[in-house]
Amino acid sequence: MNRDELLFSYLESETKRQNGGIELIASENFASKNVRALCGSILTNKYAEGFPGKRYYGGCVHIDEIENRAIELVTKLFGAKYACVQPHSGTQANMIAYYALLNTGDKILSLSLDEGGHLSHGSKVSFSSRYYNVDFYHLNKNGRIDYEALREKALEYRPNLILAGFSAYPFEIDYQKIKDVAKEVGAYFMVDMAHIAGLIAAGELDNPLKYADIVTSTTHKTLRGPRGGIVLTNNEEIIKKVNKACFPALQGGPLENIIGAKAECFYEALQPEYKEYIKQVKINTKACSDELTRLGDINSGTENHLFLLNTKKSFGVTGKDAQEKLEEIGITLNKNMLPNDDEKPSVTSGVRIGFAAVTTRGAIKEDAIEIARIIDGYLKNNIKKEDAISRVKTLTKSWKQIDEI
């Protein structure tokens, strides 16, 4: 069969970009060959509406084995009793969780987008604000969750669900404090651990399953799997509602090729070398943040795999301009709102930097320090473009290529 050569040329170009660049987008990672093989396997051919043992199509004997294996592995990985592995994405996992626990118009209390939350946590441009009434708790002057103010807001607002989780919060979360507030006001407690799932799996951060009624996550960030979502709980009645919300309410046939790849990533995350990988992610992230601080650049600091860099105060450029300038030399990151940002979301005053992806390729502490120096030097116009590109290439040539992962 002929193929679209133009399309495959784009694929080759993207492969070269990934191999030749420094990937600092905190929500990206490099999946293993085994994960990618399952993504592109014959499992994509099978329609399997429903759940293992309760399908609406025949020929699902082996599909059931694969999906059950994914459930077995993810519940072991996170110490959960129940799991739904069918959500197509993190946002759909959140949609499923809301649908399972709430009625249209119910109240959600979450962290706002401009202070580190996620679009699906109540942003005005998201479905979540159309179907639910959402109010927000905030950060204190040190950029951390203000738990006392959160309690006061909850007592006033009386939410049906309190949500913890983020896309750009660089510190640990005190789940016990939020659980206590949720219990006090009679609300469900939900955690979206999409960004930090890998750190939790490796025991480097506290496990929200010990506290929350329901936990959602993606599988493609620090978990290093395919693009997809999961929902976890220890409550049998909640998982029944979750499964009904997933199918038939919000999704049709599951992506069984992706579920197979999820199972492989859960298996990989259970191996001892994965724990060492996550430890190195934290070491690298802190090393880069600390070096930028030493160089006089303002950033949030970190307790996980990411931090925020204030490019406006550090270099006199917006996050958008910093993102575009660094991409010229092969460093990819994303503009990001900072707490109390006075720039629009399309511009921002800073960038988000994460080390999950480059650590997968083999980056070590010294590399993270060098990356900080390149960023600082180039954004301060102290390093010429050709020199910056050369230093980026030196780093990337010393790491694993994509096909070696």
Where in the sequence numbering do the catalytic residues fall? 47, 49, 192, 218, 221, 227
- Which residue, 17, 74, 102, 58, is CA-closest to 260? 74
DSSP for residue 247? I
Contact 385, 328 (CB under 8 A): yes
User: With 0-12 CB in 10 A as exposed, 13-18 as middle and 19+ as buried, what is 403?
Assistant: exposed
Amino acid at 176: Q
H or E segment at 369? Answer: helix 365-379
CA distance 146 to 65: 45
- Which residue, 46, 27, 48, is CA-closest to 251? 48
| The two three-digit tokens of residue 384, written as one number | 């010429």
CA distance 68 to 178: 32
User: With 0-12 CB in 10 A as exposed, 13-18 as middle and 19+ as buried, what is 4?
Assistant: exposed
List C-alpha distances in Å: 285 to 24, 349, 368: 10, 20, 7
List C-alpha distances in Å: 290 to 72, 136, 307: 40, 31, 11
| The two three-digit tokens of residue 50, written as one number | 């429903």
Amino acid at 12: E
Hey, how many other C-beta atoms are within 10 angstroms of the C-beta on 68? Answer: 15
